[in-house]
Amino acid sequence: MLPKKGKKLHSGAGGGRSDVSFSSLIADALRTELDSTHQAVKTAMRWTGASERTVKHWFAGAHVPHGEHLVALARHSDEVLKVFLVAADRNSMAVTAKVAELHRVLLETAEYIERQS
């Protein structure tokens, strides 16, 4: 019998943080981005094409999205993208993504203010 493979992310050398499962991190990101309502589940279903049961498992942290579903979530959710980049130990890329998001929000705000004048 093959050994069961874990889904735990390790904090690295001297991180001092306990192990947290990737599925829990994705669930937290989805709840942060979309909330925990049925509408949030429907939104994630539209983004990914996954079934309602599958998406509910993601929100509960019972399973982690794989492959195309993870890519689709990262395409639509800045929180999921950030979690993925941090989990891949690409923290600098996560910061870059956050700066790009802030830049977009600032431009939208400036346009709104200009329209109101």
As a whole number, mean pLDDT of residues 49-53 equals: 96
Which position has the higher pLDDT, 13 or 31? 31
Q: Where are the domains of the chain?
A: 21-116
What pLDDT is recorded for position 52?
95
Q: Which CATH class is domain 21-116?
A: mainly alpha
Region 1-28: what's the mean pLDDT? Answer: 62
Query: What are the residues whose beta carbons fall under 8 Å from the beta carbon of 79, sequence distance 6 or more?
Result: 29, 30, 32, 33
Q: What is the mean pLDDT of residues 2-22?
A: 54
* pLDDT attached to residue 64: 94
Give residue 20's pLDDT.
72
What does pTM read for this prediction?
Answer: 0.66
